[in-house]
Structure 1
């Protein structure tokens, strides 16, 4: 299991999730998302964050097959091995320290559709599912099409 010391916590559905801090570039308010036709439902489009155009993935759509909307939506800009993405999440709310003894393996982590869940931070009053953004991005159906679209339209360097 990947070592996670600090993580950015956010909500999706009524659950708490976290991404290791070393993957997070920034947390932004959502301004405008330019839709891209014929993309998977989870792909909301592209937006500008810190002068870069990045694809926006609706995390609510990935997990629960429903779109996230509302004032509390935030864009978690994350660097993965293959590309920079924006995860549209509900209320990215804190950065936490995760002691190694609080990090537990997930029994369902081997399940094909949630292999990006790499563990659970188990505290006395809450459980936070830890996500590996590299595995998340590589597991999304159609991600290669999105990368190709971004390259063809010169939205990010090859």
Structure 2
């Protein structure tokens, strides 16, 4: 069975998510900080009247915080019943993969990154980390934010 991923970059790392979860890709917009939010939650932005929590994906995966600039983008995803924005360096391409070619993430102990991966897949000679969006929610961290409409 095949599925389509949208691939994107954080530093030199290639990641992907199922294209069906993508709602839009937008330019970086400064966020409004939320008190007592975990460090990976940059804040929220107004998305046409909807409160959109914005996650620093690099920080969430344990790679350190991004200092967003005009070159960064926010990928707006539907995760469960809520919209989330992920800050990434750039969006690359849409790729079609054979799901049977996806390898499970290696067992690296208690690493945050491998807990958030569905698997690894070769894309144009590079390994892409496919995110498991069910494990990417803010609710996973024990922080409650307003529900998206």
Q: Which residue number in structure 2 is paired with residue 9 of structure 1? A: 7
Task: Give the secondary structure class of the aligned counterpart of 2:30.
Answer: coil
* Structure 2 segments unaligned to the other structure (5+ residues): none
Which sits farther off after the overlay, 67-76 or 87-96? 67-76
Q: Which residue number in structure 2 is paired with residue 47 of structure 1? A: 45
Q: Which residue number in structure 2 is paired with residue 37 of structure 1? A: 35
**Deviation for aligned residue 1:58:** 0.5
Whole-Å Cα distance in 2 between the matches of residues 136 and 41 of structure 1?
14
Scaled by the length of structure 1, the TM-score of the pair is 0.80
The within-5 A match list for 1:72-151 is 72-108=71-107, 111=110, 113=112, 114-123=114-123, 125-137=125-137, 140-142=140-142, 145-147=143-145, 150=146
Q: RMSD over aligned Cα, in angstroms? A: 2.4
Task: Give the secondary structure class of the aligned counterpart of 1:108.
Answer: coil
1:7-53 CA-partner distances (Å, limit 9, x unpaired)? 11111132100011111111111123111122111011101234422
- Larger helix percent: 1
Task: Give the secondary structure class of the aligned counterpart of 2:20.
Answer: helix
- Structure 1's 109 and 122: CA in aligned 2 closer, same or farther, altered over 3 A? farther
